[in-house]
Structure 1
């Protein structure tokens, strides 16, 4: 995915720097609440469902091609800067968090409360598919700044994200629900590359979903995001992932179909795969469907079909988060950090949006230079992070439970 380098405007009295951190150099640890009002936006919706909001600037395809005209194929785009014409008014942290807390149907509870191991496993597969949302061509979220956070609650589910590295971009998520015994940890490392007529973003890292009351731990990967410019502009999830649970000896392999020029229409946003017993490799269910429509499983022993996921049922009429506790919002909150830029994008005041981003960048570069001069480094506030060439990035939450958030999603 195209990303941009923009850093937040934060008052000096709102921050302090911690030492002995990671090698990326630091940004901030927030110690006071923010005085800026958050700008909260609707969740990304299914195609065919509209809230009347179109974030893209006019002639977006021509603008994208012009922007990339001097970029060589194979270029890593993690440091590529985007003007606000190409941004939606939300950060990548919000785009990671929304699939967890913005749903019409409580699919996580189904995972936790399934009566049998296979019932819970199929619910986890369906929930993983539900985290894929259609994205708009030509626009991208802001690239989160180091130390940025996003904290939202929905009912008893509390979700907290933090940007734990800026170069390379790495985001951590921790979500807990004491009532249903759910503990979720994600660590995402983006790696976007320009391939001439497309941008393919590998979303590396591990997702863990623990069902504490069942003693089960589910691990999964994430498909790649492919943005094609020619011959027809499109955005799609593509690639293979595995979902497995050692405790139940169950595993699923899923293949997400691309919509390249040579692929068949049936592959457009398709998902196919199987559920099998890990120890014997015996396939027990076949998976087939489309992640933006309906997905079924077929019992290979008797041919019986069951719908495990209906995108319209799960993702239509999504609720926009609301601010419940203004005094509890951190200055590092995504919707605060990007408030001025987002408001101008929503108003289509592109010059003002550009000015706001420029002011943010210059202020934060000044703070970064100051920290380097003082020899100060930064460590994440909410996660402990490790990295190696063999295992990649790992993020571990510093607290057992995520506290209730000042931003909530109504039922």
Structure 2
């Protein structure tokens, strides 16, 4: 969807991604074929190569920035699983709700296509009902994104700091996702801290995309932790389960396992009570991804110049219309503008400072971010509820 003001300010938003794919009639999110064309991009790259700054031609982009993809995992959802985390009365039920919500945030992009690499200072601001979400690209070298989301009605706060480090190993791209995610249930006095699995993009022998690795979720206030293992089929497809998730919820102090987690994050996930043997479905992908709504521009004048949907509007519009020459020009224009700003700051001796986050470096070389405001304000771009 393209929105313009009287002064020709342009904002382009596209429909949210879903794990269920898209119709044959719509080629907006379809990768170039055959697979050899995709592999040709890596012909001069050896195993272990860091792809952080690898530039894709627009033909291999879909019309979204990484910031928009991160934000969608929070505000584009069929069932409001985030509010459920705060509504359960018992600590165990709240913890189980947080586990299921964390699974719902893991929707991979489509094979053969990738979002745009955000430019420094790029922002993305969207609201869904009382949930307000604000993201900012707080570093470009290395690329680091920060997210702050608040819901004053539900007394919920989210703070994420995320750095993706993609590397090519000869048959796949392993995208390591570094950084921590915090979910705060403010009226409960509980903070849940978690990490993200890695994104595995396989080219051979069968192309595909999966989440892979271990996730730990912990809440010191209620003394519970969870360990989740996201898996996939082996290289030849002889072992493992497609898009599987297995794990447990246990007491931090005694290490006693209370529940077993088992299922597939693109279908259903169950939780089995070790004491009673009772099994409950805690996650249903069909509910999470059904009826996803495309955001709309509610207040065009309130859209920041740094908004993803404005920064990349020309490129997104060109991709959606399959005008690849225009897309190439639009992408080059955004990148050249950023180079000019970098040269300008360098000539003045200026150091760029994020607008919405304070940033610190951790002992292990990672990043921490702290929002500069208590509550995220309502956004000019909103997700309709019906």
Q: State how far apart, in whole Å, the 2-side matches of 1:159 and 1:386 are.
A: 21
In structure 2, the CA distance between the partners of 1:52 and 1:46, relative to structure 1 (3 Å rule), is: farther
Give secondary structure in 2 for the equivalent of 1:38.
Answer: strand
- 2:138 is equivalent to residue 164 of structure 1: yes
Residues 32 and 112, structure 2, Cα contact 8 Å, conserved in 1: no
Structure 1 residues 351-388: Cα deviation after superposition (integer angstroms, max 9, x where no partner):
11001111222232122112211111100000000113
- 2:229 is equivalent to residue 259 of structure 1: no
- 2:93 is equivalent to residue 119 of structure 1: yes
Residue in structure 2 matched with residue 231 of structure 1 by the alignment: 205
- 2:293 is equivalent to residue 329 of structure 1: no
Residue in structure 1 matched with residue 158 of structure 2 by the alignment: 184
- 2:47 is equivalent to residue 73 of structure 1: yes
Q: State how far apart, in whole Å, the 2-side matches of 1:53 and 1:223 are.
A: 30
Q: State how far apart, in whole Å, the 2-side matches of 1:277 and 1:388 are.
A: 28
In structure 2, the CA distance between the partners of 1:362 and 1:49, relative to structure 1 (3 Å rule), is: closer
Q: State how far apart, in whole Å, the 1-side matches of 2:52 and 2:33 are.
A: 24
Structure 1 residues 18-40: Cα deviation after superposition (integer angstroms, max 9, x where no partner):
xxxxxxxxxxxxxxxx9522111
Q: State how far apart, in whole Å, the 1-side matches of 2:9 and 2:24 are.
A: 26
The alpha-carbon deviation at position 52 of structure 1 amounts to: 4.5
Residue in structure 2 matched with residue 28 of structure 1 by the alignment: none
- Structure 1 segment 4-403 matched on structure 2, within 5 A: 36-47=9-20, 50=23, 52-54=25-27, 55-264=29-238, 267-390=241-364, 392-403=366-377
The alpha-carbon deviation at position 267 of structure 1 amounts to: 1.4
In structure 2, the CA distance between the partners of 1:291 and 1:339, relative to structure 1 (3 Å rule), is: same
Q: State how far apart, in whole Å, the 2-side matches of 1:117 and 1:141 are.
A: 38
Residues 224 and 249, structure 2, Cα contact 8 Å, conserved in 1: yes
Q: State how far apart, in whole Å, the 1-side matches of 2:360 and 2:120 are.
A: 16
Residue in structure 1 matched with residue 3 of structure 2 by the alignment: none
TM-score by length of 1: 0.89
Residues 211 and 217, structure 1, Cα contact 8 Å, conserved in 2: yes
Q: State how far apart, in whole Å, the 2-side matches of 1:302 and 1:391 are.
A: 44
Residue in structure 2 matched with residue 5 of structure 1 by the alignment: none
Q: State how far apart, in whole Å, the 1-side matches of 2:74 and 2:175 are.
A: 21
Residues 269 and 291, structure 1, Cα contact 8 Å, conserved in 2: yes
Give secondary structure in 1 for the equivalent of 2:99.
Answer: helix
The alpha-carbon deviation at position 51 of structure 1 amounts to: 8.6
Unaligned runs of 5+ in 2: 1-6
User: After the TM superposition, which of the residue ranges 115-124 and 256-265 deviates more from structure 2?
Assistant: 256-265
Residues 134 and 292, structure 1, Cα contact 8 Å, conserved in 2: no
Residues 56 and 86, structure 1, Cα contact 8 Å, conserved in 2: no
Q: State how far apart, in whole Å, the 2-side matches of 1:328 and 1:381 are.
A: 16
**How many residues were matched structurally?**
379
Q: State how far apart, in whole Å, the 2-side matches of 1:408 and 1:265 are.
A: 43
TM-score by length of 2: 0.95
Unaligned runs of 5+ in 1: 1-33
Q: State how far apart, in whole Å, the 2-side matches of 1:181 and 1:211 are.
A: 6
